[in-house]
Structure 1
Amino acid sequence: MNATTLIELGLTGLLVALIPLSLVWRAKGFDNKYRKLVWVTMFFTFDLIMFGAFTRLTDSGLGCPDWPGCYNHSNPLLAHAHINAAQEAMPTGPVTWGKAWIEMTHRYFAMAVGVLIIALMAMAWRRWIRSRGAERQYRPWFPTALLGFVCLQGAFGAWTVTMKLQPVIVTIHLLLGLTLLAMLAWLAARQNPHLPVAPSGRALVWPATIGLALLTLQIALGGWVSTNYAALACTDFPLCNGKLVPDMDFEHGFTLWRHLGMTADGDFLPFQALTAIHWVHRSFAFVVILYVVWLAHKALRDEGLRKTGRWLLIIVGLQLVTGLATIYLSWPLAIAVVHNGGAALLVMLLVMLNYKARYAPAGIAEADSQPAVAAPLGSV
């Protein structure tokens, strides 16, 4: 790819990033600008994950079969001859005008997130150097790690395309995106004051950590369902293909290194393998739901964690409803995208819960506790 195309792609990412950056620069004072940039970057990353789910669920991942451009161009309009030829050869194939624009829009948003993180890192380093390390809230190590992580995520985005949507690569790409969101949620939690947390809330440090680990495993299983197109392997509930325990092929279903739709030996993936993938994700979902509901119930007992616990219950309920709807309604696109977004929201909420349980101001016993620090409007 020539330098002109790379410059055009970089400028496009910068232009997209200017929209959230303009909102940030309207804030008064460096502290407010930095805090707002952290939160804006987190929510922009959440939007990117949602659009990534839309890209994957519309089979647009190979809409432009090279990377980072589209047939060595910065946008599909310049690649019209290649796209027209591919679409005429396969009207419903992986390359069409609609899929090309969806894929490139996803890449533009990803580049914009990179620009936002660079701006975040630059602000942190500038303040850290000027204060000679006196202002610990601007320690630049975490923002710098974010930049390294987003570069790693970009590499897996490239491999997703060049390795033709190999399931394990696409699943890792999803998990890295959610890890980036979790890191931003942790950084965002550091920017806001929080209500005091009583000793009972402090006791949730390890349960909250376990909850985040269980959710991560469930998201990995969900990503494996999505990247293997196994969402409709079971079309009934609570049974699966009329059985409580259907015929399943775990060996082929959970062989990680293989091409999409194929076994490791190069044969077509049997339907029983897709059933195993779907059934494991569905079954483990109830373990995660029960645990998170229990964790949220514990959080509701503490004033400092109550709002986060309440939102956990709401989003878990949303996940249950959208998960069942994808089965009964044969996987409608909008509901499937919302289901992916719900998983991302749960990641953010559990990260917030982990942060508050560890670092919120210490409170006294619940019976005598009084809120000492007002939480900002809308904080979770």
Structure 2
Amino acid sequence: MDSAALVNLEPLARMALLGCVIALGPLAWVWARTRSGDGRGRLRALTVLTLFLTFDLVLFGAFTRLTDSGLGCPDWPGCYGSASPLGARDEIQAAQSVLPTGPVTHGKAWVEMVHRYLATAVGVLITVMTLLSWQQWRRDGRGSSEAPTRVSPWWATVTLLWVCVQGAFGAFTVTLKLYPAIVTAHLLGGLALLALLAAQAWRPAADRVVGVSSALRRSLVIVSLLAVLQIALGAWVSTNYAVLACSDFPTCQGRWWPTMDFEHGFAVLRPLGVGKDGAWLPFAALTAIHMTHRLGALLLLGGLAWLVWRLAREPALRRYAAGLVGVAAWQVVTGVSNVVLDWPLLAAVAHTGGAAALVLLLTALLLRTTSARPVAASSRATAPLVARRAS
């Protein structure tokens, strides 16, 4: 398609209607499960289900990217101006006859459009969730002290705004032809959406929040930031197809420190496969991207080991420590498998799933913990005097 037809809003209404139809199934399930409960229970059930489906959407987005289906339909939001590949059979066939392996084929077009349908359905669920949140807030007396709202409706509102941003990133992914910075931002945005939903679905009651030392809380925040950085590096590896720059482990190209070009590899504002100077991206740049992700993994694993050791000393948080150990092991196995097994699809999708699970675990820990307030020095100093006066 020519550049003037990259955005064709003609099928937008039909796409939205199809998203509503798909969302009816989860909504009907939630209403059936909570028909005898109150509004809070229904809202919580819908939030948890939306979180689960968003996790699945992140995995399917990884599948779409890893099967090179991101341009299976080269316009947005439909496929050659149609709401499904069925209406674009002739255009897809013409493109496939020119390039039989893609980027446009019948199979890739369906993968891409199913991803868009699922994303639209998740957007519908989040819209309903936002409406229910504000409705519950009004029922509770607009957050009055007599009936405090457990989760502010602004959380759901921000989530709805963010899913709209994600939709824009999805559109730019297509119209800018898999621009690496946009694709990376799209993946990070999906994980941020998971964290927002988890913050609403899993927010514990006040009596279940665990007070921890300030040092442990700082460690948790630092490890969370390291995890975000490492996931961003992993997304940069995937979007630049730098996984196969190293086909051995623990060395790369038979060397501990191969030739690397960081200047071109980490030039953010450039098209796919293009270096900083506009020429083809050097292989040494792909090596630099890959090796930086490996070094980041070592740093993150060290941080996780420290955090697990500290969490294991807190009885109420030991299961989180076990979960972090499991996710770290999963990521090591799937990450190494991507290298030595020539980037198999299953391992690559599983690696993205592990990153999403790590985000959820760290979000849950941030929700469940708070810095314990130490007794003020002045209070300790005056306590004996107060005791003597009382006697």
TM-score where L is the length of structure 1: 0.91
- For 2:185 and 2:130, how far apart are their aligned partners in 1? 25
CA distance in 1, matches of 2:203, 2:353: 23
Find the aligned partners of 2:22 and 2:343 in 1 and give their Cα distance: 31
Match of 2:327 in 1: 315
Aligned to 2:110: 101
Cα pair 1:127 1:138 within 8 Å, conserved: no
* Contact persistence 1:55–1:106 (CA under 8 A): yes
**Residue 160 (structure 1) aligns with:** 173
> Is 1:207 the counterpart of 2:219 in the alignment?
yes
Q: Is residue 134 of structure 2 the alignment partner of residue 112 of structure 1?
A: no
Contact 1:195–1:304 under 8 Å retained in 2: no
Alignment CA distance shift 1:343-1:3 (3 Å): closer
1:376 corresponds in structure 2 to none
Greater Cα offset, 261-270 or 149-158: 261-270
**Cα displacement (A) at 1:3:** 7.1
Task: Report if aligned partners of 2:234, 2:293 keep a CA contact under 8 Å in 1.
Answer: yes
Gaps of 5+ in 1: 363-380
Match of 2:49 in 1: 40
Question: Aligned partners of 1:38, 1:73: CA distance in 2, in Å?
Answer: 32
CA distance in 2, matches of 1:192, 1:155: 35
**Partner of residue 161 from structure 2, selected from 148, 161, 167:** 148
Distance 1:205 1:88 in 2: 58
CA distance in 1, matches of 2:67, 2:209: 45
Query: C-alpha separation between the residues in 2 aligned to 1:287 and 1:95?
Result: 39
What residue in structure 2 maps to residue 342 of structure 1?
A: 354
Instruction: Give the CA deviation at 1:2.
Output: 7.5
Q: Which residue of 1 aligns with 2:138?
A: 129
**1:282 maps onto 2:294 in alignment:** yes
1:140 positional shift: 1.1
Q: Post-superposition shift, 1:115?
A: 0.7
Say which SS state the counterpart of residue 358 (structure 1) adopts.
Answer: strand
Instruction: Kindly report which structure 2 residues correspond to 1:138-287, keeping only aligned pairs within 5 A, or say none.
Output: 138-190=151-203, 195=208, 197-200=210-213, 203-287=215-299
Provide the rounded CA distance (Å) in 2 between the counterparts of 1:199 and 1:50.
Answer: 33
Contact persistence 1:46–1:181 (CA under 8 A): yes
Q: Is this contact kept in 2: 1:234–1:327, CA < 8 A? A: yes
Greater mean alpha carbon deviation, residues 289-298 or residues 173-182: 289-298
Once the two structures are TM-superposed, the CA of residue 21 in structure 1 deviates from its matched residue by 1.6
1:88 equivalenced with 2:97 (yes/no): yes
Q: Distance in 2 between matches of 1:309 and 1:115?
A: 35
Separation in structure 1 between the aligned mates of residue 246 and residue 355 of structure 2, nearest angstrom: 21
Deviation at 1:204, TM superposition (A): 2.3
For residues 316 and 356 of structure 2, what CA distance do their matches in structure 1 show? 22
- Give ranges in structure 2 of 5+ residues lacking alignment: 1-6, 374-391
State the secondary structure of the residue aligned to 2:77. Answer: coil
User: How far apart, in 1, do the equivalents of 2:205 and 2:9 lie?
Assistant: 42
The 3-state SS of whatever aligns with 1:306 is helix
The answer as to 2:11 corresponding to 1:5 is yes
**Deviations 1:277-322 (Å, cap 9, x if unpaired)?**
0000011101101211221221122122122221111011100011
C-alpha change, 1:239 and 1:149, in structure 2 (3 Å) is same
Structure 2 match to 1:21 = 27
Q: Deviations over 1:84-113 (max 9, x none)?
A: 111111100200011000000111111111
Task: Compare 256-265 and 43-52 and name the one that shifted more.
Answer: 256-265
Same amino acid, percent of matched pairs: 51
Give the TM-score, by structure 2 length.
Answer: 0.88
Q: Which residue of 2 aligns with 1:73?
A: 82
| Counterpart AA for 2:165 | L
* Residue deviations 1:177-209 (CA, integer Å, cap 9, x gap): 111111111112216687452544x65222111
Aligned length: 360
Deviation at 1:139, TM superposition (A): 2.3
Do 1:197 and 1:302's aligned partners in 2 also have CA atoms closer than 8 Å? no
**Distance in 2 (alpha carbons) for counterparts of 1:203 and 1:249:** 38
Tell me the SS of whatever aligns to 2:86. coil
Deviation per CA, 1:47-100: give whole Å up to 9, x if none.
Answer: 111000000000000000011111111100011111111111110020001100
Contact 1:160/1:169 (<8 A) preserved = yes
1-structure distance, mates of 2:175, 2:312: 47
Give me the whole-angstrom Cα distance separating, in 1, the residues matched to 2:266 and 2:304: 26
Counterpart Cα distance in 1 of 2:160 and 2:212: 36
Q: Which residue of 321, 346, 370 corresponds with 1:358?
A: 370
What is the alpha-carbon root mean square deviation over aligned residues?
1.8
CA distance in 2, matches of 1:305, 1:23: 33
Q: Match for residue 385 of structure 2?
A: none
Question: 1:127: Cα distance to partner?
Answer: 1.4
State whether residues 125 and 138 of structure 1, in contact with CA within 8 Å, keep that contact through their aligned partners in structure 2. no
Q: How far off is 1:147 after superposition?
A: 0.7
Change (3 A) 1:192 1:118: farther
